[in-house]
Amino acid sequence: MITLYELTGADVARRFSPYCWRIRMSLRHKGLPFEGIAWRFTEKDRLAPAGSQFVPVLRDGDTWVHDSMAIAEYLEATYPDRPGLFGSPHGAALARFVAAWTDRTVQLNASRPILMDIFSCLHPGDRDYFRTTREKRFGKRLEEVCPDPQAELPSFRLLLEPARRVFGKQAYLAGEAPNYADYALYGTFMWWRMTSRLPPFEREDIMSSWLARMDEACDGEGRRALAAAGMQPEG
Amino acid sequence: MITLYELTGADVARRFSPYCWRIRMSLRHKGLPFEGIAWRFTEKDRLAPAGSQFVPVLRDGDTWVHDSMAIAEYLEATYPDRPGLFGSPHGAALARFVAAWTDRTVQLNASRPILMDIFSCLHPGDRDYFRTTREKRFGKRLEEVCPDPQAELPSFRLLLEPARRVFGKQAYLAGEAPNYADYALYGTFMWWRMTSRLPPFEREDIMSSWLARMDEACDGEGRRALAAAGMQPEG
């Protein structure tokens, strides 16, 4: 049995880590049964067997793997008869680029407008940890990082232009069906919508259409998870 | 015989359009013989048969194709027995994303520091056209767009972070060998180095290693073109 350690808030239905979502979707994509285990920021000792301080951590029998890209590659190599996450070696190389772009561009800038929403949904025992690490990262008090989230949305949305362009021509980043490249970007918006009610996109934005399609991917995994957390996407 | 219309400066050896370079590399990649024809901004009438005002324009017998991505797709569909530009349908979808990212992020921001260098290498007959169209685009006089190019390099270089990340793990964006995704990004740096002596990257930057590898791709096409234009890359 595969076990996936997933970051949660005070409500364990709020699985909000963008990197854990990449793996949750990947496991569904490959049709591999697994158990998702709720984990909190401060429970570092539970990840010790993986040699990691952060999730996602995956346990498959006696094998522990950490880091989302390493886990995706492990799953692909270990279960080659299941549906592929990358399509081809070229596809894997380029999916790595999409993941890096998401990390460095989208993820980094998305964290500002939803920062206080994330803080609010944390388990009380995680709040000091989150405040200390994030205040160090941003160099200011949490409350001062983004005093007007609404005002930052236009510049954030502009960062998605490269994705928007391709969605004029294809349904998914990976083409006609989603794969790891789409899950990498989707993770950011599961993180966003699991913690915040601020709409990441305007309704008529082509990004909203992609997000709605992604919510239905893998038997509606994302849609059902948002509903279970009481964070229903707009219809 | 295939003909490729390519933008040149006063010196016809300075083929500097980033989009034409995507196609020149693609034709070499596929091993298709072609003739590159020098074209200047103001020679719109010569492109009329393609229904376009801009290069690249490709003529293959009686077929005219314009727009770099459309031309790459045309070559792939028309010459399927030649080496593939995309590797797979997933690879094609993701290469489209890399091209869109290059267009919207890299290309847009690279144009500021090298703007006056481009202007200087134009044929005198193209200068008014360039000045008028670019001053309209930037909303100010050419000379005022980037008074201190050197000062803008650090922020420009930062935009390449997603690419830098993957080059820690793989030689090319497309993995072990370059394909259209790499040519899309490479075009920007041929444009840059055909017109400017400003180094796009610091020598120890991992991007410089990729660029040096790309200069040797397709039998050193880029290296030889730079040498012919007197714009030798640093050794």
What is the per-residue DSSP string for B106-164? Answer: IIHHHTTTTHHHHHHHS-HHHHHHHHHHHHHHHTS-HHHH-S-HHHHHHHHHHTTHHHH
Give percent of chain A above pLDDT 70.
99
Instruction: Determine the residue of chain B that is closest to A172 in CA distance.
Output: B93
A171 touches chain B (CB under 8 A): no
Contacts of A158 in chain B (CB under 8 A): none
Can you list the residues of chain B whose pLDDT is less than 70? 234-235
Q: Could you state, in order of their start, the residue ranges of all structural domains in chain A?
A: 2-228
A172 touches chain B (CB under 8 A): yes
Q: Are B46 and B39 in contact (CB under 8 A)?
A: yes
A160 touches chain B (CB under 8 A): no
Look at residue A234 and tell me whether its pLDDT is greater than 70.
no
Q: Tokens 């793990």 appear where?
A: B169
**Interatomic CA distance for residues A173 and A123, integer angstroms:** 34
Q: What is the mean pLDDT of residues A104-111?
A: 94
Higher-confidence position of A91 and A217: A217
Nearest Cβ partner of B181 from A89, A94, A174? A94
Q: Are B14 and B195 in contact (CB under 8 A)?
A: yes
B158 touches chain A (CB under 8 A): no
Element (H, E) at B69: helix B68-78
User: How many A/B residue pairs have CB atoms within 8 Å?
Assistant: 109
Q: How high is the pLDDT of residue B232?
A: 82
Look at residue A235 and tell me whether its pLDDT is greater than 60.
no
Task: Output the CA torsion A170→A171→A176→A179 (10° steps).
Answer: 120
Q: Are B201 and B110 in contact (CB under 8 A)?
A: no
For A182-191, how does the pLDDT look when each residue is reduced to its tens digit (9 = 90+)?
A: 999 999 999 9
Look at residue A47 and tell me whether its pLDDT is greater than 80.
yes
Interface of B with A in 176-195 (CB under 8 A): 176, 179, 181
Instruction: Determine the residue of chain A that is closest to B106 in CA distance.
Output: A162
Q: How high is the pLDDT of residue B233?
A: 73
**Interatomic CA distance for residues A234 and A211, integer angstroms:** 11
Q: Which residues contact B225 (CB under 8 A, 6 or more apart)?
A: B13, B15, B190, B194
B163 touches chain A (CB under 8 A): yes
Contacts of B91 in chain A (CB under 8 A): 87-88, 90-91, 94
Confidence of residue A109 (pLDDT cuts 50, 70, 90): very high
Q: Are B116 and B143 in contact (CB under 8 A)?
A: yes
Q: How high is the pLDDT of residue B235?
A: 54
Measure in Å the smallest separation between the Cα of A33 and chain B Cα atoms: 26
* Angstrom distances, CA of residue A125 to CA of A43, A129, A225, B25, B146: 10, 8, 23, 56, 50
Inter-chain contact B90–A89, Cβ cutoff 8 Å?
no
Give percent of chain A above pLDDT 90.
95
Inter-chain contact B173–A97, Cβ cutoff 8 Å?
yes
Measure in Å the smallest separation between the Cα of B133 and chain A Cα atoms: 23
Q: Are strands B2-7 and B34-39 parallel, antiparallel or unpaired?
A: parallel
Task: Output the CA torsion A98→A99→A101→A103 (10° steps).
Answer: 160
Look at residue A71 and tell me whether its pLDDT is greater than 60.
yes
The helix/strand count (H/E) of chain B reads as 11, 4
DSSP state letters, chain A: -EEEEEEB-SSTT-B--HHHHHHHHHHHHTT--EEEEEE-TT-GGGGGGGT-SSS-EEEETTEEEESHHHHHHHHHHH-TTSPPSSSSHHHHHHHHHHHHHIIIIIIHHHTTTTHHHHHHHS-HHHHHHHHHHHHHHHTS-HHHH-S-HHHHHHHHHHTTHHHHHHHTT-SBTTBSS--HHHHHHHHHHHHHHHH--S-SS-TTSHHHHHHHHHHHHHHHHHHHHHHHTT-PPP-
Fold of the B2-228 domain: Glutathione S-transferase Yfyf (Class Pi); Chain A, domain 2 (1.20.1050)
Q: How high is the pLDDT of residue A171?
A: 98
Tokens (6 digits) for A162: 């490269």
Record the pTM. Answer: 0.94
Cα B108–B187–B96 angle (5° rounding)?
A: 75
Q: Report the 10 Å Cβ neighbour count for B51.
A: 10
Q: Tokens 């000379």 appear where?
A: B143
Q: At what angle do helices A180-195 and A206-228 cross, to 10 degrees?
A: 60
Q: How high is the pLDDT of residue B171?
A: 98
- Interface predicted TM-score (ipTM) of this complex, two decimals: 0.92
Q: How high is the pLDDT of residue A233?
A: 73
Confidence of residue A90 (pLDDT cuts 50, 70, 90): confident
Nearest Cβ partner of A174 from B93, B100, B166? B93
Q: How high is the pLDDT of residue B234?
A: 62
Q: How many residues would you count in chain A? A: 235
* Angstrom distances, CA of residue A160 to CA of A111, B68, B96, B187, B193: 15, 22, 14, 22, 28
For A48-59, how does the pLDDT look when each residue is reduced to its tens digit (9 = 90+)?
A: 999 999 999 999
Q: How high is the pLDDT of residue B93?
A: 94
For A193-219, how does the pLDDT look when each residue is reduced to its tens digit (9 = 90+)?
A: 999 999 999 999 999 999 999 999 999
Nearest Cβ partner of B162 from A92, A104, A175? A104
Measure in Å the smallest separation between the Cα of A88 and chain B Cα atoms: 7
| DSSP letter (8 states) at residue B4 | E
